[in-house]
């Protein structure tokens, strides 16, 4: 069965990304079209990237934390990134985790669920550029959540009902594209 990782985009205390990831997983699990799991960056405890050789040139990881991260990303067929917007961009934790790897990402599809004061749109667009370099195709449908209307006091996640339809549309695209890229991954 197709395996999709729902990757949290923040590691800070009191973050919102885990609430959003669990909400997406709840919607996804009702579909029955793939195996979905939350992949929480906190659990991998990746230090600031300092590998001696780029992952694009070698998978000889020297950072011990990189090995389980590599194994997890490699076993997944596609992704949904939970992308908070910090200072008009992706979080440093998410960019750092992405930079650790290269071939593990290739020939896969991803959806993006963003949030921020303006729905996290700028961070999602920045993430699309990063994913293109890693040979990850990002799907068009993009749930964008507002800190003002989808969170109570900026921290308690209470999404508007209409977002569920958008999440389902995004997941449908991620599954279709993930299955289309399967021959490239083999």
Could you give phi then psi for residue 86, rounded to 5 degrees?
A: -115, 120
Q: What is the DSSP string of 61-123?
A: --STTHHHHHHHHHH-SEEEEEEE-BTTB--HHHHHHHHT-STTTSSEEEEEEEEETTTTHHH
pTM above threshold 0.95: yes
Could you give phi then psi for residue 102, rounded to 5 degrees?
A: -140, -70
How many angstroms separate the CA atoms of 160 and 147, rounded? Answer: 12
pLDDT digits (tens, 9 = 90+) for 21-75: 999 999 999 999 999 999 999 999 999 999 999 888 888 999 999 999 999 999 9
3-185: CATH, from 3.90.1640.30, 3.40.50.360, 3.30.1330.60, 3.90.1300.10: 3.40.50.360
Q: What pLDDT was estimated at residue 58?
A: 86
Q: What is the DSSP string of 25-71?
A: HHHHHTT-SSEEEEE-GGGG-PPSP--SS-TTT-----STTHHHHHH
Q: What pLDDT was estimated at residue 186?
A: 87
Q: How sure is the predictor about 175, in pLDDT bands with cuts at 50, 70 and 90?
A: very high
* Residue of 57, 135, 134, 46 lying closest to 96 (CA atoms): 46
The strand pair at 35-39 and 108-116 is best described as unpaired
């Amino acid at each position: 069965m197709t395996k999709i990782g729902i990757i949290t985009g923040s590691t800070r205390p009191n973050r919102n990304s885990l609430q959003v990831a669990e909400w997406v997983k709840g919607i996804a699990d009702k579909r029955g079209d793939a195996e979905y799991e939350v992949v929480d960056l906190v659990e991998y405890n990746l230090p600031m990237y300092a590998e001696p050789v780029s992952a694009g040139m070698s998978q000889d990881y020297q950072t011990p934390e990189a090995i389980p991260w590599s194994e997890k990303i490699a076993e997944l067929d596609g992704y949904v990134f939970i992308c908070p917007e910090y200072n008009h961009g992706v979080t440093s934790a998410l960019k750092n985790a992405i930079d650790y790897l290269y071939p593990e990402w290739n020939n896969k599809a991803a959806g993006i669920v963003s949030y921020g004061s303006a729905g996290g749109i700028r961070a999602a667009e920045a993430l699309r550029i990063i994913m293109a370099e890693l040979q990850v195709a990002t799907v068009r449908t993009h749930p964008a959540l507002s800190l003002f209307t989808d969170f109570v006091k900026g921290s308690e996640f209470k999404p508007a009902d209409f977002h569920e339809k958008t999440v389902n549309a995004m997941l449908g695209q991620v599954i279709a594209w993930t299955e289309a890229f399967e021959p490239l991954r083999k």
